[in-house]
A and B are shown apart, each in its own frame.
Chain A
Amino acid sequence: MARLEAKKPSVCENEPLTSGRVRSMLSVLKRIVTSCYGPSGRLKQLHNSVGGHVCTTSQSSALLRSLLVTHPILKILTASMQNHVSCVSDCGLFMAILCCNLIENVQEIDLTPTTVIELNKLLLSLCTNYLKSEVCGCRIPVDFSSTQILLCLVRSILTSKPACMLTRKEVDHISALVLRAFLLTIPEKAKDYVILGKTIIVPLKDQRVMDSTVLPGMLIEMSEVQLMRMLPMKKSSALKVALFCVSLSGDFSDTGEGTLVVSYGVDLESAVLDQLLNLGWQLVRDQIDIVMCQKVIHPSLKQFLSTHRVIAIDRVGVALMEPLSKMTGTQPIGSLSSISPSSYGSVKDLCTAKFGSKRFFHLIPHEVTVSSLLLCNRSDTTWDELKLTCQTALHVLQLTIKEPFVFLGGGCTETHLAAYIRHKTLNEPGSILKGNECTQTALRLIAEAFCSALESLAGSLEHDGGEILTDMKYGHFWSVQSDCPPLVNWPDLLSRCGCGLHSSQEELSWSFLRSTRHPFVPQNCLPHEAATSANNLTLDCFTAKLSGLQVAVETANLILDLAYVIEDKN
């Protein structure tokens, strides 16, 4: 019996940002992301409270995986954060906090959303133009002839994720490994264009972090039975490889719909096995040395291959297929019947390796562009976090090759940029507003909101109740304890700025970040030797941060532009 139900009317929410519920939800989200930010950020336990996996993290990508928000406005925010993180891996929290700050700051200002959005766009392009220009005072070109800056970059990423639980020595070790793993993915012979290889992270949980290591080529886990069956290799220059993506387990999964009726005595399984063994003969005739299969190889075929001194490696898994086929130059074979000789590839050598309690086949390619990073950490939770962090670092290194710059980290870029915008809007408002109808007052209001959004983003790095100062020359970020006496000798109390480039002994003057002060021209401070010689800089990825800034402003504009939220309640 059909049953009809009256349709519920849609719910329309007018000016959603003015509602108290939306504001409180935004502020909860902001509190979550803000408290995670930076090297002393607080961790979050994500779980379902019924005994599921507990994830302890402060990373945007891990947070996003389990953040399920319901309100459309929050959905817009998390969706653009997700999008940003999947493109550039890093600076997800940066983007989210900045976006929340921007929305929050303009709410008190009595201007139409259109004006606000217009001005935000102008300010954004002012920022990006400055950050991309030669005169930019908060970026450093990357010198690829030394590892210094790249190491600092990786180290900054590792230390900004406290849930990895690494000691200083371990941070150094892992940064070096990540960098080495990355360098192994760069092909030696450069052509007109360079295709970077891939780093595969191999889990080795429950071991000491210092046991982590990097190997060129690929590692595939093997069982002890396989080890016992391994015969010494025939010595030859290269080993011929066949790679199967179809299952060789001898089952018949493609019987289609309907029922297949066979009469008793007809043994389908042995028929398939015969076909597999024929395949085996062909492989032997073609002088294959290693047969690899994404799925399972039938034990009889394995036995057959092993008696003909062919090494069979099965259950490679879908994740390794693409790098394997690239590394060996094989075409993954998808059929059992005919194999074209062109689909075979080769490796330079194959050996076995033992790490911890696991044994691996180690495939060594002719030209190394694939590397394996064996990653250890003491527990599952910290391993998961470390793996994500290393992936981020590897991605950041790739981005850095494309755009060979890094930003100064530790909050310095944000405060410097804020100082620059303040100075520009005060001194050259006309050139910014060129061809625009907005008033200079509006510009000044929005610029202030924009700058304080940037500055409180930098201030989010502080979680223990300290105060933030900025110097009046470079506009860098300095942190100080909160209850310091009023007449204090700053150079004694401060040590270095957030990124570590400047020392307090450089005859600077300071003021509190939140206090009103005279705008100044932040200087381009970079004697390049100084930048490269300082070995403990905190650095941020250029591409990721720039994209984070753009996504934050655009998302904030999008949310500010929302006049109605219409929800279909059916």
Chain B
Amino acid sequence: MVMACRVINKRRHIGLQQLSSFAETGRSFLGPVKASKFIIDEESHESILISSVIRLLESLDLTSAVGQLLNEAVQAQNNTYRTGTNTLLFFVGAWSSAAEECLHLGVPISVIVSVMSEGLNSCIEEVVSLQVPIHNLFDDIDSTNTFSGLEAFNVTLCPFLQIPSDTGLIQTNLDLKDASQSVVIYSLSGRPVKSCVFFRPQAKVEARESISQTLVNSQLADNSCRRSILIHSRHFNSTGNSQSISKPDGFLEQCSAAASKTHSCNDLVELTVGLSHGDHSSMKLVEQVVRLQYQNARMQQGNCTMPFMFDISRIFACYLPGLPETFTCVCPGYITLVSISCTTLIKELQNQPVRVILIQGDLTENYHHVGFNKSINIKTVFESMKVNEDSTEELWANRVSQILIQFNVHLVLVQGNVSEHLIEKCMYKKQLVIGSVNGSVMHAFAEATGAMQVAYITQVNEDCVGSGVYVTFWRTIPLDVVDKKNRMAILLKTGGINLVTAVLTGPVTAQMQTKEDRFWTCAYRLYYALKDQKVFLGGGAVEFLCLSHLRIIEEQSLKTEDQACSGWLHNSSSWLASSLALYRPTVLKCLANGWHKYLSTLIHNTANYSSEFEVSTFIQHHLKNAMDSTSPSSYILNEYSTLNRGVFNPDISNKLEQIPRVYDIVTPKIEAWRRALDLVLLILQTDSEIVTGHGHTQTNSQESEGFLFL
């Protein structure tokens, strides 16, 4: 009556088939040239234009169990990294067909699971050689000694110091390897040894594995966000320590000197161009944001060597649909929309610092903080006829206004809603009240003005009031930029506010969402590049290396019956462990096909080749060369410009130095692979779905034949 059970992998695995058909829909989003899609609702005849996986999944019917798991995986990737979802979806498709292929060839499920999982691990280890460390990025913006801070910063922001010391050492080796290699690539006059030194201090600190250390470090991380307090902090000394452990200044200066000559990835412009993946306009905005934040940080600190961190939470995006493209820009401060009836008020407030208060909740009469349960059985009776219920709001508004006058406040930022009546009332008293302010904007103002966020206006005291905010029109002729709801853009600024607003405009309203998505994608891409302090050589290089690496280990396992891989299985005593060698080449081949598919789709989407066949020949040609060479990674490094041109820039002349490099972010990409494979393997290992509850009756009517009832 309430439960049914269906076997989903008799011969053909239904779950895997569902996965690949879902993934097929996202194919056209891969690569820098994206084909947008129109999604049309047949009932309401509404249509939207989309060009990202997230928006696509929002429009698909994902109520099936597999669809929901797919959505969960994509959302998880998106929530954590805001990027890599295209890759994730593509590999879900590619690898679910690969797994199905293996099933078809009679490979036991447990073997598919362990070989695929370890195959991917092996690839992830291999692609470390294509990592490009990011050094001295801000040297060209400002003077030299900024970097020692970045080093210490990296240490302090790593709260997970529970890594056993030996893995810490392995990490060092890898870093050394990639550092030296990258120097070989990028700086022709390079001094690889110098940049090796750069990594060592970090590893030393990491190796000190103890709980108390973690605590100290996490406190440091914490303190680094609170500049003003740090000076009095009892941990101040330890910050000094970790800087003195990592005394790389001397080397770094030499390094940067060498680097600036060779124009390597130590340059912010080169990095952003490489990470833009064809979307130069959005990335240009992000780059400007970083520059503004950096300048602001330098100004605030003076000579203090606090690390600079690109703080993505301090970016606010303001959307102004309907305005021409040329209005798109980046501004320090907060740009928001207010009713045009405020024009006079803004004019009056202009050119003088005003005092501000920040309200966390709503600014309405009957607002209560979350967790306050209003009793329903309390009734107020009125004894005299003078007061009636209508005027209670009036009384309240007067009281608010009084408080504002008392503290000489002319600006109120409210995170929640504001009563319209109050806004109007305050307007006549030269008090500007702005509602629905983003939380991180509130934090930025709290930091910059010294204001404290309060829940109720009655809580305000002198300590809660911030000062020094300037209110102006965003454009000199404010009525130029009025939107459909009769609102105009104003700019709130204060000295040293660590907040940058990106104004996104465009004449076509349908494109606004895409614009917004692309801006944030670029922002997060740069954010993770700076956070990881390394990028991958992009444009398919990483995937190509994975492909050739898998082909090589596949060939090796065909030749030698190596038993080393038997440990790949969790359960090493099972017969599967001994028969692993038999199936290994097959599974690895199928896994590698996924990468092949990715590369050919990528190349095909960029439209340099007319046929799939041509693309395939191109890949095969280089694959053969790579496998014949001593090491595929050095082949890729040598041939990178050729490969890169083949993939992305067919029209650019043959002058190598003119071809911009393409970069990819490291952690989000690897996590996207892992997530994709995890999802595929999870579905692969699932043999039945159990439907519970009321939904069962519906299942019954649709397709009851496959179900067994309990």
Contacts and interface: CB of A to CB of B under 8 A. Distances in A.
Interface of A: 25, 28-29, 32, 35, 38-40, 42-52, 54, 56, 63, 66-70, 74, 159, 162-163, 165, 167-169, 171, 177, 205-208, 210-211, 213-216, 224-225, 227-229, 231-232, 235, 247, 249-253, 255, 257-264, 266, 268, 295-296, 298-300, 303, 307, 314-315, 351-355, 359, 362, 364, 378-382, 410, 462-467, 478-481, 493-500, 536, 538
30 contacts: A28-B709, A39-B571, A43-B687, A45-B690, A48-B691, A48-B695, A49-B65, A51-B63, A54-B65, A66-B690, A167-B117, A169-B121, A205-B76, A207-B80, A213-B214, A232-B232, A232-B234, A249-B369, A255-B378, A264-B387, A298-B372, A299-B456, A300-B455, A353-B219, A378-B674, A380-B72, A481-B579, A496-B573, A499-B573, A500-B573
Nearest to B442: A225
Contacts of A364: 215
Contact of A48 (B214, B232, B693): B693
Contact of A382 (B576, B682, B695): B682
- Interface size band for B: 35 or more
Interface stretch (B31-39, B93-101, B106-114, B283-291): B106-114
Nearest to A177: B162
Interface string B375-393: 1011111110001000000
A265 B456 CA distance: 20
Contact of A171 (B456, B568, B570): B570
Given A44-B690, A262-B381, A299-B459, A381 B571 contact: no
Given A48-B694, A232-B229, A255-B377, A378 B675 contact: yes
B692 A68 contact: yes
A45 B378 contact: no
Most chain B beta-carbon contacts within 10 A, residue among A43, A255, A314, A351: A43
B682 A51 contact: no
Interface in B187-245: 211, 214-215, 218-219, 221-222, 225-226, 229, 232-234
Contacts of B222: 227, 351-354, 359
A159 B108 contact: no
Contacts, number: 310
Contacts of A49: 63, 65, 691, 695-696, 698-699
Contacts of B507: none
Contacts of A362: 215, 218
B567 interface: yes
A162 B69 CA distance: 16
Contact of A303 (B113, B454, B692): B454
A168 B452 CA distance: 49
Given A28-B5, A45-B686, A500-B572, A262 B380 contact: yes
Interface of B: 1-3, 5, 8, 15, 62-63, 65-66, 68-69, 72-73, 76, 79-80, 108-111, 113, 117-118, 121, 159-160, 162, 211, 214-215, 218-219, 221-222, 225-226, 229, 232-234, 360, 368-375, 377-383, 387, 439, 443, 446-447, 452-456, 458-459, 463, 566-568, 570-579, 671, 674-675, 678-679, 681-682, 685-696, 698-699, 708-710
Contact of B377 (A29, A258, A296, A465): A258
A289 B634 CA distance: 60
A261 B375 CA distance: 12
A45 B8 CA distance: 10
Contacts of B160: 210-211, 213, 355
Most chain B beta-carbon contacts within 10 A, residue among A74, A214, A257, A481: A481
B513 to A, nearest CB: 24
B88 to A, nearest CB: 11
A251 B69 CA distance: 41
A524 B447 CA distance: 71
Contacts of A56: 69, 682, 686
Nearest to B9: A42
A426 B709 CA distance: 42
Most chain A beta-carbon contacts within 10 A, residue among B3, B222, B674, B710: B710
A300 B456 contact: yes
Given A355-B160, A465-B108, A263 B381 contact: yes
Contacts of A232: 229, 232-234
B371 A249 contact: yes
Nearest to B384: A264
Contacts of B369: 249, 296, 298-299
A224 B708 contact: no
A381 B69 contact: yes
A335 to B, nearest CB: 18
Contact of B383 (A28, A163, A264, A296): A264
A364 to B, nearest CB: 8
Given A40-B574, A167-B121, A380 B692 contact: no
Contacts of B572: 495-496, 500, 536
B571 A45 contact: no
Nearest to A267: B380
Contacts of B695: 47-50, 52
A249 B373 CA distance: 8
B379 A262 contact: yes
B452 A229 contact: yes
B378 to A, nearest CB: 5
A40 B109 contact: yes
A264 B380 contact: yes
Contacts of A263: 380-383
A554 B381 CA distance: 68
Closest 3 CB pairs of A and B: A296-B371, A299-B455, A49-B695
Contact of A495 (B3, B219, B454, B573): B573
A70 B710 contact: yes
B82 to A, nearest CB: 12
Given A159-B571, A299-B360, A359-B222, 5 more contacts: A32-B690, A46-B689, A50-B698, A56-B69, A355-B159
B699 to A, nearest CB: 5
A382 B2 contact: no
Nearest to B681: A165
Nearest to A355: B159
Nearest to A503: B573
B375 A463 contact: no
B692 A162 contact: no
Contacts of A227: 222, 225
Contacts of B453: 225, 228
Contacts of A207: 80
Nearest to A374: B160
A250 B570 CA distance: 55
A263 B387 CA distance: 12
Given A215-B214, A466-B576, A54 B121 contact: no
A33 to B, nearest CB: 12
A390 to B, nearest CB: 16
A40 B576 contact: yes
Most chain A beta-carbon contacts within 10 A, residue among B439, B567, B574: B574
B443 to A, nearest CB: 6
B459 A300 contact: yes
Contacts of B214: 213, 215
A466 B580 CA distance: 13
Contact of B573 (A45, A168, A479): A479
